[in-house]
Structure formats: structure tokens, C-alpha cells
Chain A
Amino acid sequence: MLDPAQVTMTETTIDKAAHKTPVAMARRIRGLSDRAIAWWFVGPTIILLLAVNIFPLIWTIYLSFTNFKANRPNRDIKYVGLRNYERLLTDTDTWIAMQATAHFLFWTIFFQVLIGFTLAWLINKKFKGNDLWTTIIVLPMMLSPAVVGNFWKFLYQPQIGFFNYVVTWFTGAESSSFEMLGSVNLAPWSIVIVDTWMWTPFVMLICLAGLRSIPDYIYEAAVIDRASKWRQFWTITLPMVLPFLMLAILFRGIENFKMFDLVVQLTGGGPGSTTELASINLKREAFEKWRTGYSSAFAIILFVTVFGLASIYVKALNKVKER
């Protein structure tokens, strides 16, 4: 090791680090190759990933073939083959939950994209108070889903709720004549409305980033070519924002496929099982009924569904980006 006094002013940062490395450690790592050192750096992360992601996944797959119940650890665990999967796929309640999830997923994404893009397009215009409006619009997504669920519950209250009051004001119908959370027909829409209210700003922000990434000279060229606004929108704006929009759809799709907190706060899955989404159903099976084996099978099915759909979607997204 060099004497610190011998260190010259021209030494690099790497040299300095080498000099400061304790002698014992320096001896140990002197014999290591670059590859070995690289492994030392990424090793902890890989171990952590294996411990918190891969091992639970493999364990869940194993449990899905058993009758294990987490609340009965002393009971013998029996291998049941594909019985859990068979029961799940032939259970009408599973399909009802999947239908409720599909309804929620489709309509929330539809409205969020439609409104989010429109808001982004409007906000992108230069006008007074632009920043203030942006801040106001993004406020809902800053709130906790539990808080949003609770206050929308009050808003939907048939006797004193503001939502019913507004509907009454516009339609003249008596406010207590309809129940957003209690009606089988309205409850699925009530959760769509709340999720749209909360997460449209997120889609708007992504679209805004897309809109602002379009160089002005393209529009200027279009104007010189006498392209109409309509034509500019369809041939410049939309194609160039599309990758951003698709990214927003991917994020919201994955998030809403596993939606839990907001809907539990709002309806608890009711009335009956009308808004019992797949994740709520899964939680009931796993942590209320304690059918760990069965719910593991359900979790695997959901994982494969989401992973499969997301993979196809990402491929499509890459193709759009390549165009």
C-alpha cells in the first residue's frame, strides 16, 4: 500500500478509492476477477428477489396442488392434483367475479382514456391559470384509496349524499329513489365512476407528456400543407401520442385487474356479489375462508392471465413504437 504522503495530485478517483480500501479487504478482493466482483454486487439483489418473489411464487404453485389451510397448520397436507383448478374453473362464482372484473376494467379504462386524453389536449393549450388547473385536476390521484372510498360513500348516500342531490337537481327524480351503492344495476357503475374520478388525472399526465413531446415544426409543416385541424389530429397528434396512451392503458389495466382497496371501501363487494372483483374474491378465499390451497390456485390463474395479457400487449406496444 502506498504511503498517503506519496499520493500525488494526479491520481484518479479509482486510485483514491483503492488507497482507502482497508488492507485486509484489499488482499481478499485482489484475487477476484471482474466477473466475481460483479456477482458480489448483484448477488444480494438476486438473493432478495429469489426470497421475496421467486420462492413465494414456487411455493404458491406447490400449495395450489394441495388442500393446505393456513389456519390449520397441524392438519396433514394432502396432494389433490388439479382438483383446486378444476373446482375453480367450474365454479360459477369464479366466473361471476371475473365478469365483474372485466366490466370494471373495460369501462374504467374506456372513460379514463377518453376523459384523460381530452383533458390533456385542453391543458396543453396555452391559457391563463393553466398550471393551477393542472394542479387541481391531479389532486384526486394524490389521495389514499381508503379516503376516496369513504368520502364517495357519503357522496352516494341516498338521503343526504351530494351525488344524489346533483342527479336530483338535473333530473327531478327524488334523491332517495335510487341507491348508487345498493342497487344491483347501479353499483358496478358507481365503482367505475369513482375509479375514473381518481385515476383519470394519471392518464391525463401521461398523455400530456406525449402531446408535449410532439415537435412544433411538424404542425407548422402541416399548416403549410394546408392540413385541417381534424387532419392534423388524426395524422400527427394521435399516432404520436399513441405509445404514451398505450402505456397508460397498460398501467391502469394491471392496476385495475388487481383492484381491491377502493371497491372494498365503497361496496365491500356488494350488493350480494355484484361488485365482488377477482381480487376481493381471492382475499375472501385466502384470508377469511382460509382455503389456502384453493386460493393459491386462484392466484396462479390470475397471475397467468395478467402476465399473458400484459406480454401480448407489450409486444403490440413495441410494434407501435417501431412504426
Chain B
Amino acid sequence: MKLKSFLAASTMSVVALFSSSAAQSEELTLCWAAWDPANALVELSKDFEGKSGHTMEFEFVPWPNFADRMLNELNSGGKLCDLLIGDSQWIGGGAENGHYVKLNDFFDKEKISMDDFAPATVYAYSTWPKGTPNYYALPAMGDANGWFYRKDWFAREDIRSAFKEKTGRELGEPKTQKEMLEIAQFFQGREIDGKKVYGAAIFTERGSEGITMGVTSALYPWGFKYENTPGKYDMEGAVNSAAAVEALEFYKEFYKTATPPGYTNSYMGESLDAFKSGQVAMAMNWFAFFPGLYADPNTGGDKIDFFVNPPQNVAGSTLGGQGISVVSYSDKKDAALEYIKWFADPKIQAQWWKLGGYSAHNSVLQDPGFKASQPFAGDFLVAMEGVQDFWQEPAYAELLIAMQKRVHDYVVADKGTAKEALDALIKDWTEVFEDEGKL
């Protein structure tokens, strides 16, 4: 009998051992865009692999195809991704269409508090409906659209005196959008070290989200609002306000008078190329790229500096960044949640920032040494205080494509006036909200 009990116990132990080791060694796939921070995340995740016994696979898709690829995957109930670092605008669709796992119970159980993360990032990356305590993602990567410039050119005496002679003021980081345009126009076509250079690289891309992200970087500082009353979808007078018209005209003037020739379909990659090849004095791009730009041997280091998207009527930056979600179609949800728990750890968040990711954790952002940790760290904090995001509705893709079309038609293709473009945009958006049953 004793032998029988012993054998039974041994068998059960062996079974338990094997089943537990099987549960511990899942292969998780994390999906994200292919860019600098993704490489940092690969490095960071080695710690998770060591601690958990799970292995990490990564599916990184270039930005222009990222939304198409991932939204198709989600809409078809695909099991490719266990974890997805999806764009902030996808949160509404992710939640309403059941693509993302709701994380409230998990957060409660693991004592992960959203109060530990920067409020703007929680609002933008995690909640749906907006601002309610319903969480579908953990803030993973804070980001905003900012600017960088050739500090070495700005410091040159001949250029400074020429600028002062032309404008009557000192050349320096612009304090307003209009000052920025003036600086860009000053550099446009100027010869520096025997080479013709141009004012600035801005976003004009038509295919995905480029020009919308660029134009909103002008609209927000002019005080642009999507609705008169939040949640009412009453866009008339808000989207096409006099300030919005002025901002859109400003962006067009910027494009026409201060960007390199042929800059008609440009986004992140083109902006980086234009700057790194010494073509432009300034460029707009996401903060996520700033660590790489600072480390660039040719145009980084003491040749570069950074500034927040300048205000005009108000402070305003276009929000980038993403939250990390567990895909509801995954068969490995438990292991994926383990990853989220590990990622939320303040020590991992500190390491994340150190490797080049933008942590949204308060313990990192409020650390006394944070501002001095990188030349753009202080700007990042300022930018995140004034961020504004595009619609995060489930129908965000339709809303985005309509804006891409209307603003590209006006800014790049010279079609109609700014007022007509914004009026047409309201018409398009109204149609979308009517289809959605929200109007």
C-alpha cells in the first residue's frame, strides 16, 4: 500500500512538474512598429525571459504599414500577437470590438495603479470610453511630436548676424509657430559650407497618417478643438473655426516656403534623412527618435538640440505613443499578463528609459535626475503637459483617412481654400458619425 501511495505521489509530482514547466515556458509574440524603441524593447525583454522562463518573439512592422497590418490582424481575430503595442487611436476600436482584454481586474489583483503613470498617458493610451476608469492598455511609450535643429548652424556668427539683419532679433529656439516659420524661411535656399540647405522637414505623407500628424502640430497651438462640447460630435464652428483656418493656412505656407523641393509625401523616415544628410536646419519628428538622433555621429552630439512644438495661441503638441495591450484572441493570455506585470515594475520602467524607451511611469518622470538624464528629457515633460490626440473613436481609421485627403488636397495639391478643406472635413466626419449611429 505504501509502495502504491509512493508511486502515485511520484507520478503526480512528475506530471505536476512537467505541466508546470510547460505552463512556464510559453513563446510570446509582441507586435509593434519597427523603429528605434522597438530595438530597445528587445534588449529590455531579455530580463523578462530570464525571470519568467518564457521566450519572446517580436513582430515589428514599418510605420507606413503598421496600422494596416495590425488592424487587419485584429479584425480577423488573428492569433499572431499575444501582446500588442498599438497606437493610441486604436483604443476605442480595440475596446468596443473586443480585440483587447480589459485589464481592470488584473490591475486590481496585481496592485498595479494607474495613478503611478502620467495622467495624460493614462487618458490617451489606456482608457475607453475616454477618461473613464476602464483600462485596456498599460502606458508603454510616451511620445509627442517635437522639433530638433542644427545647433552648430544656429551658433555660427555669420548666420546669426545675417538673421539679425533680416529679422531684427537673435537667432535661437523659436518661441512661437510664426517665429519658427521665420527661421525656416531664413534658412530656405541658403548656402552653408558650399551646400544649399533648406528650412525644415515637416510631415506631408498622404498614405497613412503623416500629414494629419503634421497639420495637427499647427492646429493644436492655434487652439483647435474637434468638438464644441466634448462627446457631442458638434464640429461646426470648432473644426472650421477662424483659428483653425489660420493654422491650416500657416501649415501650407510653411510647406510652400520653407521645405526642401520634392517634399510632397514625407513622414518620419524622410524627416530623419533630410536632417541627417544636412539638408535642413530644423525638422519635426517624434520624441521617440531623439535618442538615436542625439547619438548620430555626424549630426548628433553638440550639433543638435531639441525643442517642444512652439505655442501660438496656446501650448499644444500632437500626441504620439502607445499603450501595451493583451490581445483577446491569444491562447497565452496568462503569460502575456505576466509580461504586463513585469513591465509595470518601476525598476523595469527606469531601465526602459535608460535604453531609449519613453517611460510614462511617475517614478521615472518625477525622478530629480530625469531632466538632466538626456538633453531632450525636459522638453519631453513639457510636451507631454500639452498633448492632444486625434479622434480615438472605433471609426478612427475612417476619420483619419478623410483628414489625410482633405488636408493633403489643400496643402500639397493646392485644391480650394483652408476653409473649404475644413468644411469638407466636417461633412466627411459627420457622415462617419452618422454611419456609426452617433449623430
Q: Does chain A have a CB within 8 A of B382?
A: no
In the complex where A184-B413, A272-B413 touch, is A159 in contact with B401 (Cβ < 8 A)? no
Q: Does chain B have a CB within 8 A of A210?
A: no
* A contact patch SS: loop
Contacts of B68 in A (CB 8 A): 287-288
Cross-interface CB contact of B75 among A71, A269, A270, cutoff 8 Å? A71
Give Cα distance in the complex from A271 to B408, angstroms.
Answer: 7
Give Cα distance in the complex from A67 to B437, angstroms.
Answer: 12
Contacts of A290 in B (CB 8 A): 75, 397-398
Contacts of A253 in B (CB 8 A): none
**Nearest Cβ on chain B to A153's Cβ, whole angstroms:** 9
Give the A interface residue count (CB, 8 A): 32
Give Cα distance in the complex from A186 to B207, angstroms.
Answer: 19
Question: Contact: A288 with B401, CB < 8 Å?
Answer: yes
Contacts of B286 in A (CB 8 A): none
Give Cα distance in the complex from A181 to B264, angstroms.
Answer: 8
**Nearest Cβ on chain A to B199's Cβ, whole angstroms:** 14
Q: How would residues 150 to 193 of chain A score, 1 for a CB under 8 Å from any chain B CB and 0 otherwise?
A: 00000011110000000000000000110101101000000000
Contacts of A252 in B (CB 8 A): none
Q: Does chain A have a CB within 8 A of B150?
A: no
Question: Contact: B261 with A272, CB < 8 Å?
Answer: no
Q: Does chain A have a CB within 8 A of B97?
A: yes
Give Cα distance in the complex from A184 to B414, angstroms.
Answer: 8
Question: Contact: A74 with B75, CB < 8 Å?
Answer: no
Q: Does chain B have a CB within 8 A of A64?
A: no
Question: Contact: A182 with B263, CB < 8 Å?
Answer: yes
- Contacts across chains A and B counted by CB atoms under 8 Å: 86
**Nearest Cβ on chain A to B420's Cβ, whole angstroms:** 12
In the complex, which residue of chain B has the Cβ closest to the Cβ of A181?
B264
Contacts of A112 in B (CB 8 A): none
In the complex, which residue of chain A has the Cβ closest to the Cβ of B207?
A268
Q: How would residues 270 to 304 of chain A score, 1 for a CB under 8 Å from any chain B CB and 0 otherwise?
A: 11111000000000100111110000000000000
Q: Does chain B have a CB within 8 A of A72?
A: yes
Question: Contact: B413 with A274, CB < 8 Å?
Answer: yes
Contacts of B261 in A (CB 8 A): 158-159, 176-177, 179, 182
Contacts of B415 in A (CB 8 A): 184, 272
**Nearest Cβ on chain A to B428's Cβ, whole angstroms:** 10
Q: How would residues 383 to 421 of chain B score, 1 for a CB under 8 Å from any chain A CB and 0 otherwise?
A: 000000000001001100100010011101111000000
In the complex where A289-B397, A291-B398 touch, is A176 in contact with B262 (Cβ < 8 A)? yes
A interface residues, Cβ below 8 angstroms from B: 67, 70-74, 93, 156-159, 176-177, 179, 181-182, 184, 264, 267-274, 284, 287-291
Per CB-CB distance, the 4 closest pairs between chain A and chain B, nearest first, are A272-B413, A182-B264, A272-B409, A158-B262
Q: List 15 A-B contacts (CB under 8 A).
A: A71-B75, A71-B97, A73-B75, A179-B264, A181-B265, A268-B207, A270-B264, A271-B206, A271-B408, A271-B413, A272-B408, A272-B412, A284-B401, A288-B68, A289-B397
